[in-house]
Amino acid sequence: MTPALVPLPVVVPLLGAALTLILANRPRLQRSVSVLGLTTTLVVAVVLLVEAYRHGPVVVRVAGWPPPVGIVLVADQLAALMLVVSSAVTLCVLLYSIGQGRGETSESAPVSIYHPTYLVLTAGVTNAFLAGDLFNLFVGFEILLAASFVLITLGGTEVRIRTGSTYVVVSILSSMIFLAALGLVYAATGTVNMAQLAGRLDALPPGVRLALQLTLLLAFGIKAAVFPVSAWLPDSYPTAPAPVTAVFAGLLTKVGVYAIIRTETLLFPGGQVANLLMVVAGLTMVVGILGAAAQSDMKRLFSFTLVSHIGYMIFGVALSSVAGLAGAIFYVVHHITIQTTLFLVAGLVEERAGSTDLRRLGGLARIAPLLAVLFFVPAMNLAGIPPFSGFLGKLGLLQAGVAAGGTLPAVLVGAGTLTSLLTLYAASRVWNIAFWRAPRLATSGPPVRLPGLMVGATAALVLLGLVLTLAAGPLFRVTADAATDLRQRTPYVRAVLP
Amino acid sequence: MTRGEAGPTLVLVIAVGVLVATGVTLLLERSLTRILLGVILLGNGVNLLILLGGRSGAAPLVGTVPASAMSDALPQAMVLTAVVITFGLTAFLLAVAYRSWYLSGDDEVQDDLEDRQVVRLAERNEVSTADLGGEGPDNDPEQVDPEPALRRLRRRGEEQ
């Protein structure tokens, strides 16, 4: 019964996309189809997570072809956990965008393409999480990229085209590198099935193996916005519509991080590049957050904190101990939720005050107290103030770093603490300027009533962040279990190739 | 497709090298049309590279030749998918280039004004006016850094 559920998170959004495209002239029906599709995905994802936690990875052979000939979809604990978080977040963002009236036919978006594209994006993300072979992972990436191209240039205004063209070119380049790596992997091993690769890559000469590993790492590093190749992100995310930026910030880079976790544990265990990963993780954290401190626009500032906090996850992967991986997975879950929430709040600020430029904002705490609360909780969560999940995630990673011993992990623990403090600085700077000081021109106009659905969806995500805090104990148990499975490799390989 | 017992054909390896090298060179340009050409060349180079990974031989149809003499069908299937994807992305990039030309008169990727403004503040060793509690002259990015807008105007003047 359960294996039959595995393809649903990919198939349901794709069918929904087709339906919403047909229903382009029936906005109400279109909205219901989207919401229903994503709710189904969420329910299926939760069932899969429970099943994977209790009985190990759930595998489905597409069209009944046995692997390695056919394609497999694998929902192990890591993939299922990612599915649950990503579908919860996409559902909330969808409700938010419905509240905002996005997806309606308007002058800036003449065809109602928002809903179909959004659903295709979701299908791409879930396909990447479930992919059991490298080529299917590539296809997942391409699905989500193609959809994201449409969403980031939505409306085709001059500024969106400018930022969109940077994004499109960088994404295509990273896909080309991934594709080249795929070709080389196949040439070296004769397979792209990940479970089979796990065995065959071990037999390769170390030089060839390292070259393949680094090529894949570069491709995923660009997608995940790891430091030397992260400059494209703060340049392209902020101009898109708020819900689009929010879902990109929450999910797309994390798919890259997921791919790094998967390949570094399943295909290339042993930590040959651990030192390299630690150096880039440290640089990502520090350079990213220094960039955030200099920004004077809320959305740009949070794009920089997004880059910076990717560093924590890479640090956990670099440690490659069970504690490190568990911390990294926990941090991914936490960061997807919190970063999306912050961009949704930025969207609410834009709706309320007409701008997210800090120079124009002020006094929001007095004018819109609820908005202030919705900002304050996730901002402090991101900065890692106890007792929030941001603190627990960072604590888990730093403890794993201290347990690893050695100079480089110690330096990274220092960098992580510094980044946490600087995040607090950046977050409180936004708080002081936009919320705490006296009202400005942009904020002193007549009060605007924010649509209830927008506020509700944002509040739901803030609550989800708090639930992550309260349920951190059980969640850490799941991530530790997932990390143990990842380190052992046998549960995954045995489930795919019995 | 082209790998015998002795390994891949040298001609094809060189072709991949040339395509990728010219593609990367064009990608470094600023005009979207040239970047587009770069993407096409790079895409073809990478697709050829995947083909090189499989065994060469006769068409892989059951019953025509013994299995040992067949070429490897999997890279061909992967290339087919990759070609379609590259085609779609190229078409989208072409649309972006056209839209950019339609809106701003050329297809050059413009500078990010906000970025340059932050750089300018750093060069002058100042903090943003927002931190001092005011709304200073850096309210309007266009006024702080007129260079990109001027460059666009100049280029338009040259064309006429």
With a CB cutoff of 8 Å and minimum separation 6, the contacts of A313 are A257, A261, A328, A331, A332, A335
Nearest by CB to A149, from B39, B92, B133: name it: B92
In which element (H, E) is residue A42 found?
helix A27-55
Q: Tell whether A290 is within 8 A of chain B (Cβ).
A: no
Tokens describing residue A256: 């890259």
Residue of B nearest to A294 (CA): B118
Q: Tell whether A436 is within 8 A of chain B (Cβ).
A: no
pLDDT less than 50: residues of chain A:
105, 107
Helices and strands, counts by H and E, chain A = 21, 2
Minimum distance, in Å, between the CA of residue B98 and any CA atom of chain A: 10
Nearest by CB to A168, from B47, B78, B92: name it: B92
Q: Where are the alpha helices (DSSP H) in A101-241?
A: 114-130, 134-152, 158-189, 194-202, 206-224, 232-236
Residue of B nearest to A149 (CA): B92
pLDDT tens, position by position, B24-52: 999 998 888 899 999 999 999 999 999 88
Share in percent of chain B as helix, strand, coil (round to 5): 70, 5, 25
Report the pLDDT value the prediction gives residue A332, as an integer from 0 to 100: 94
Task: Give the integer Cα–Cα distance in Å for A194 and A151.
Answer: 31
Same domain, yes or no: B37 and B100: yes
pLDDT tens, position by position, A265-276: 999 988 789 899
Nearest by CB to B27, from A173, A180, A437: name it: A173
Report the pLDDT value the prediction gives residue A352, as an integer from 0 to 100: 82
Tokens describing residue B63: 């019953």
pLDDT tens, position by position, B58-81: 888 888 888 888 888 888 889 999
Task: Give the integer Cα–Cα distance in Å for B29 and B36.
Answer: 10
Residue of A nearest to B140 (CA): A359
Q: Among the three residues B61, B81, B104, which one is the final residue of a domain in this structure?
A: B104
- Which residues form the domain of B51? 3-104
Same domain, yes or no: B17 and B53: yes
Nearest by CB to A161, from B47, B49, B99: name it: B99
In this complex, do A162 and B110 lie within 8 Å of one another by their Cβ atoms?
A: yes
Q: Which of B41, B47, B76, B85 to mutate to test the interface with A (most CBs of A within 10 A)?
A: B85
In this complex, do A168 and B96 lie within 8 Å of one another by their Cβ atoms?
A: yes
Residue of A nearest to B8 (CA): A187
Tokens describing residue A103: 């997806």
Tokens describing residue A351: 């709706």
CATH number of residue B86's parent domain = 1.10.287
Residue A254: name the closest of A384, A81, A493 by CA.
A81
Report the pLDDT value the prediction gives residue B134, as an integer from 0 to 100: 54
Task: Give the integer Cα–Cα distance in Å for A311 and A242.
Answer: 24
Same domain, yes or no: B16 and B85: yes
The residue ranking higher by pLDDT, B1 or A476, is A476
**3-state DSSP call for residue A357?**
strand
pLDDT tens, position by position, B72-126: 888 888 999 999 999 999 999 999 888 888 888 777 777 777 777 777 777 887 7
Beta pairing partners, A72: A61
Beta pairing partners, B108: B31
Residue of B nearest to A156 (CA): B99
**3-state DSSP call for residue A74?**
strand
Report the pLDDT value the prediction gives residue B53, as an integer from 0 to 100: 82
Q: Is the pLDDT of residue B144 over 50?
A: no
Same domain, yes or no: B14 and B73: yes
Residue A266: name the closest of A57, A7, A35 by CA.
A57
Please give the tally of structural domains in chain B: 2
Question: Using CB atoms and an 8 Å cut-off, which of residues 110-149 of chain B contact chain A?
Answer: 110, 112, 114-115, 118, 121-122, 128-131, 133, 135-136, 138-139
Burial degree of A44 (CB within 10 A; 0-12, 13-18, 19+): buried
At A275, which amino acid appears?
A: N
Minimum distance, in Å, between the CA of residue A303 and any CA atom of chain B: 13
pLDDT band at B131 (very low <50, low <70, confident <90, very high): low
Same domain, yes or no: B76 and B49: yes
Cis peptide preceding A66, ω within 30 of 0 = no
With a CB cutoff of 8 Å and minimum separation 6, the contacts of A284 are A225, A226, A227, A230, A307, A308, A310, A311, A314
Same domain, yes or no: B149 and B86: no
Report the pLDDT value the prediction gives residue A277, as an integer from 0 to 100: 93
Same domain, yes or no: B36 and B62: yes
Minimum distance, in Å, between the CA of residue B129 and any CA atom of chain A: 7
Same domain, yes or no: B12 and B90: yes
Q: What percent of chain B has pLDDT over 90?
A: 28
In this complex, do A183 and B52 lie within 8 Å of one another by their Cβ atoms?
A: yes
Same domain, yes or no: B10 and B86: yes
Same domain, yes or no: B24 and B78: yes
Same domain, yes or no: B86 and B145: no
Same domain, yes or no: B99 and B118: no
For residues B4-22, average pLDDT: 82
